[in-house]
Structures are given as structure tokens and as C-alpha cells.
Structure 1
Amino acid sequence: MATPLRPRAEYGAHLLVSTCAAVADLRTLLDQGMNATSPSDTLPAQAMAAGSDRSRLWAGLAAALFVPAFLVAVMVTLTFYRPSGCVTYGEQCGEGLPGWVFAWGVGLGAVMFVVALAAPALRVRQVALAAQLLAECTALLVVLSYA
């Protein structure tokens, strides 16, 4: 059965009412959405429950790979003429970055490694891992600065 045609004025009023109702529904949905917890808020708790936090693994891997990276940095440094001449003949010894920067880099890397392993909070472990990587890279940069 066909619906009767509406006059233009009635059709426009019906369109206005349905548009206002849609806007009100949208406002209600937005208000509920703003007050509800988003899935990203529960992500760290789910990550911990699922065991997908790998900050301890990465901290151990970074600490284990520091010694080979140090040896490679020393070998790369010794391939240049000036550092190898300094080691072999004791001449043309240049100045790189100070040794205390290397000591602080290694020391801070070791401390941050322990913090990354022992800290119970996820965010603390992530910050400790970032600080550990930065400290280890600084120590390696000191070695490479003698090239």
C-alpha cells in the first residue's frame, strides 16, 4: 500500500525534527563516550596480564650486547691511522671525549639495567630501558670519538 504524499511544509518539518533527533542522539553518544574508559586506558593492564611487556627482555639484551658493541667500536676506532699509530708507536695521540663520560655512561647503563629488571611499574621499566640505551650509546660514542 502506497503512503500518501505529504505537503512540502510538512515534509520540511519532518526533516527538521529527524535532524534534531539525530543531533541529540549524537550528543548523547559523545557524552557517554567522553566519560567512559577507552580501550587504550586498559591496555597496560591487559599487556601485563598477557605477559607482552618485553622491557626486561630488551634491557637484558641491551646489556648483553654492550660488550660486543664495545669491542666492535674499539676495532673500528683502531682501523683509523691516528689511533692505531698512537697505540703502536705512541705518536699522534689525539684527544677524544673525556674518559669520565665513558665511565658515567657505563655506570648509568648498569644502574638503569638493574632498575629496568627490578622495577614493578611498567612505565618505570620503560624509562629505565630508554635511559640505559642512551647511556650505553653515549659510552660507545666516547670510544668512537678517538678515531
Structure 2
Amino acid sequence: MKLSRRRALQLATATAALAAAGGYTLTRRPEDLVRSVLERHFGPLRMDEADVEALTAASLERRPWIEPPWKLAAAYATAHEAGLDRSALDLLPDERAARLEQFERHVLGDAVQMTSVAMRNGPEEQVVFIGPTACLNPYATFEMA
């Protein structure tokens, strides 16, 4: 097989693009996956990075077994940013896809419980992390019986 100059340049460009995409994917954090899950279900969020980090830490502290493998989470968060999350989920083996869906359900439940996302009056309102033991009932009393 004779390798032409044009074909060699095409292969070098493709290799560089794949290396850049892989390098970008490897810089992703669990917080990026949590943000992508929240934005997929609640739309664009105005939420500080510190609040996303706190929500992620609180969710994983409560249930450390739900965290998907780091490379899987990074690749899925990157696919979401590229708009290919549904296609990526369909291509995954059933066990991996189920793990991501379980993580997503827990993150959504924790977001409703631990942030102000459900109490917003509009999508432009800031979402804040309230805490893992937040009680939003104004009539609750915390007296020991």
C-alpha cells in the first residue's frame, strides 16, 4: 500500500483531532456530569460552580456507589455538550447505560431536595445549594421530645 502525501496529512489531522478530543474528555470532572444532567432536565441554570461542587459532593457522600466510572462520566458529559448524549447512551452496553441512568435519577432527586431549583419563579433565577439537611417547611420545629 502506497501512502500518498495527502493521505498522510489526513491521517495526521485525524490523529491530532482524536488526541485533542480524548485529552479534553480526560479533563472532565464529576461536577461537569452533574451540571449536564441538571441542564438537560431543568434547562440552562444560573448556578455557581461552588454550589455544583457542593451538590456533587453531598450526593456522592450519601451514596458513593452511584458514581459512574470516571472515564464513562467524562465521555458522557462531553457527549452531552456536543449534543450526542442520547446517541451515546444508546451505544453503551446495558450495564453502563443503566449505571448512568441511576446516577442521573439520584442527582435529580438530590437537586430537588438540596437546592432551590424547584422553588424558582423563572429560569433566570439563581439556583443555590441549600444543604443535605435542608428543611423548607417554615412551620417545622426541631425540638427533642
- With structure 2 as the length reference, what TM-score do the two structures score? 0.26
- With structure 1 as the length reference, what TM-score do the two structures score? 0.26
Greater Rg by CA: 1
Between Structure 1 and Structure 2, the one with more helix by share is 1
